[in-house]
Amino acid sequence: MRNKDEIKDRALKYYCMGLNSKEIGKLLEMSHRTIQGYMSKENWKGQRADLQQKAEKRIIRKYLKSQRNAEH
């Protein structure tokens, strides 16, 4: 049997990849309503937004670094 925390972690990863609750529920063989409960209770939208913002900052830093290196 799968650990509840492992399931939540996997579901959150799928959510951050852009899947919706129905798609996640099918992949994990659970009710999409359960997934929606996790989403609401644990503020997944906020977590995903934070991850996206961090990724964007990394991309910008990498781009700026490549531009500086190209100038030399």
What is the secondary structure of 2-71 as a DSSP string? --HHHHHHHHHHHHHTT--HHHHHHHHTS-HHHHHHHHHHTTHHHHHHHHHHHHHHHHHHHHHHHHHHHH
Distances (CA, A) of 51 to 22, 23, 36, 68: 22, 20, 19, 26
| Residues 7-41: tens digit of each pLDDT | 999 999 999 999 999 999 999 999 999 999 999 99
Number of domains present in the structure of the chain: 1
Look-up of token digits 């899947």: 19
pTM value is 0.72
| Residues 39-48: tens digit of each pLDDT | 999 999 999 9
Domain containing 32 equals 4-71
